[in-house]
């Protein structure tokens, strides 16, 4: 019986050991299963992320990112139907801008040197440079239209009603993918070019008027006031689009068009299609920077030429015709005649010398300034006069202190006119004087 009990105990111990071994095996298998499951889940997530990134990269490669259509009235010309009110509203705004700029241009173009002052103070010159630097930023339509015309025709799209719910019709960068867009039927190639051409003309005329206003200004306050007013005129296309978009002008007819234009996007050109000589995406940026640099070089070069001519005195009248009567003092008549400005100025004051008779006819054909102060019907014979110096205030001071010699009047020159202290200078008198000189 004792032996039987010992055998039973041994069997129970063996069974317990087997159970413990089974439990250890089950635990180890469970641990291995969890690790395998975790690795499998991580592998699946990585594969999903890689697939998403690959799909987005392929989508961006194939479709490209879309550019937003500009929020101004010129977008109506590109996207709206030519029979709608929005199209002709944009035409009217363009003509309104051009009429104002043309009036300014006609008023600024003067008969001589575009009415540029002969000299300004240093603070005015510094303000002119500042305004020239700000001009391309204010007239941004010129740069944008030039770059857009260089890109060529780009199709216009609007969002599709069946958008992708995962990204809400947009990519991760916030741009509209091409797969969720529908092409706008009313946006044609001709209207697209017309829109950019109108923007280019308005920007170019605005830059020309800005340059003339800057170089013609004589005071700092006048310069900044005119520059700000011209900038407002150039921004009228954006101002009227904002008024239409917020329902201030023709809300029922134009506001839906403005809301639709704000959702339109443009097809983006590939870098290889933009530039045949360049394969990188940075060429587009380099082109815009180069265009901006050329505009700055042109404006500053023109200003430097004007400033150099102001310093050299070329903006002042090169010839002055002065006529003095003999009613107040008969000696003043000997100083009447044509004076020519010398190249060398005295402390930035113009210096004029009397022209001999041989050069007088040529000076009269050239543009000159005439100063008259003489009695009715009086004139003076052609005699040698001393040189005079003319200051900025217009007062003339004789350099020579000796008075001109007195003349003996004979023949037809001996007769005096009524109320005149000098002999008359009729045609016979002039012929007699010329023969006596000969």
Encode pLDDT of 10-38 as tens digits.
666 666 666 667 666 776 665 555 555 55
**Are 79 and 221 contained in the same domain?**
yes
Higher pLDDT, 407 or 212: 212
73 vs 317, higher pLDDT = 73
Q: What rounded mean pLDDT belongs to the chain? A: 69
Mean pLDDT, range 309-321, rounded to an integer = 71
Label the pairing between strands 265-266 and 181-183. Answer: unpaired
Q: How far apart are CA 292 and CA 132, in angstroms?
A: 12
* Co-location of 236 and 338 in the same domain: no
Domain shared by 278 and 327, yes or no: no
Statement to judge: residues 300 and 325 lie in one domain: no
- Minimum mean pLDDT range among 140-149, 188-197, 209-218, 377-386: 377-386
- Band of the pLDDT at 96, cuts 50, 70, 90? very high
Residues 166, 218: one domain? yes
User: Are 172 and 236 found together in one domain?
Assistant: yes
pTM over the 0.75 mark: no
12 part of a folded domain? no
Q: What is the pLDDT of residue 101?
A: 92
- The answer, yes or no, to whether residue 409 has pLDDT greater than 60, is no
| 208 shares a domain with 107 | yes
pLDDT at position 113: 58
CA angle 12, 13, 14 (to 5 degrees): 90
pLDDT given for residue 90 in this prediction: 92
Q: Provide the H-helix boundaries in 64-165.
A: 74-79, 85-108, 122-138, 140-151
User: Which residue has tokens 């920077």?
Assistant: 289
Please count the CA atoms within 13 angstroms of the CA of 238 that sit on its side-chain side: 11
Tell me: do 187 and 206 sit in the same domain. Answer: yes
Confidence at residue 156, expressed as pLDDT on a 0 to 100 scale: 80
The pLDDT of residue 92:
93
Q: Is the pLDDT of residue 223 over 80?
A: yes
Confirm whether 336 is domain-assigned.
yes
Q: Between β-strands 181-183 and 337-341, what pairing exists: parallel, antiparallel or unpaired?
A: unpaired
Give the domain extent around 107: 67-312
Local structure of residue 40 (DSSP, 8 states): H
Question: Would you say residue 98 has pLDDT above 90?
Answer: yes
Residue 91 has pLDDT above 90, yes or no: yes
Question: Residue 378: which pLDDT band, with cuts at 50, 70 and 90?
Answer: very low
> What pLDDT is attached to residue 93?
93
pLDDT of 227 strictly over 60 = yes
Residue 328's closest CA among 370, 374, 371, 372? 374
Helix (H) or strand (E) holding 287: helix 283-312
Q: Are residues 263 and 118 in the same domain?
A: yes
Mean pLDDT check: name the lowest of 11-20, 130-139, 239-248.
11-20
Is the pLDDT assigned to residue 353 strictly greater than 80? no
The total number of structural domains that make up the chain: 2
Residue 95 has pLDDT above 70, yes or no: yes
Predicted confidence at residue 140, as pLDDT, reads 81
Quote the percentage of the chain above a pLDDT of 90: 9
């Amino acid at each position: 019986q004792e032996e039987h009990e010992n055998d039973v105990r041994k069997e129970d111990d063996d069974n317990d050991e087997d159970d413990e071994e089974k439990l250890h095996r089950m635990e180890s298998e469970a641990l291995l299963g969890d690790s395998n499951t975790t690795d499998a889940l991580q592998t699946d997530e990585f594969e999903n992320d890689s697939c998403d990134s690959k799909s987005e990269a392929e989508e961006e490669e194939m479709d490209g990112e879309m550019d937003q259509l500009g929020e101004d009235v010129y977008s109506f010309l590109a996207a709206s139907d030519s029979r709608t009110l929005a199209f002709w509203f944009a035409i009217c705004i363009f003509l309104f801008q051009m009429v104002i700029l043309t009036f300014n241009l006609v008023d600024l173009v003067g008969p001589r040197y575009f009415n540029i002052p002969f000299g300004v103070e240093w603070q005015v010159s510094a303000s002119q440079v500042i305004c020239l630097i700000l001009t391309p930023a204010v007239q941004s339509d010129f740069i944008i239209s030039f770059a857009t015309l260089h890109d060529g025709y780009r199709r216009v799209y609007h969002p599709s009603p069946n958008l992708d719910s995962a990204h809400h019709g947009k990519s991760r960068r916030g741009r509209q993918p091409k797969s969720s867009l529908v092409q706008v039927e009313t946006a044609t190639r001709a209207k697209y070019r017309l829109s950019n051409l109108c923007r280019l003309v308005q920007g170019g005329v605005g830059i020309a008027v800005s340059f003339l206003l800057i170089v013609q200004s004589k005071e700092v306050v006048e310069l900044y006031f005119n520059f700000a007013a011209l900038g407002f005129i150039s921004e009228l296309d954006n101002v009227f689009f904002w008024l239409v978009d917020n329902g201030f002008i023709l809300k029922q007819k134009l506001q839906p068009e403005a809301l639709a234009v704000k959702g339109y996007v443009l097809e983006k050109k590939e870098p290889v299609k933009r530039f045949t000589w360049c394969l990188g995406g940075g060429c587009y940026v380099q082109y815009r920077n180069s265009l901006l640099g050329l505009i700055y070089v042109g404006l500053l070069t023109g200003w430097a030429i004007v400033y150099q001519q102001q310093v050299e005195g070329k903006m002042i009248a090169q010839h002055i015709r002065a006529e003095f009567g003999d009613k107040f003092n008969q000696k003043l008549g000997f100083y009447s005649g044509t004076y020519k400005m010398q190249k060398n100025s005295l402390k930035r004051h113009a210096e004029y010398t009397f022209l001999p008779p041989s050069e007088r006819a040529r000076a009269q054909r050239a543009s000159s300034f005439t100063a008259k102060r003489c009695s009715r019907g009086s004139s003076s014979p052609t005699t040698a006069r001393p040189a005079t110096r003319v200051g900025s205030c217009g007062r003339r001071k004789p350099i020579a202190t000796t008075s001109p010699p007195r003349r003996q009047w004979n023949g037809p020159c001996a007769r005096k006119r009524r109320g005149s202290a000098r002999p008359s200078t009729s045609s016979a008198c002039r012929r007699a004087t010329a023969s006596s000189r000969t």
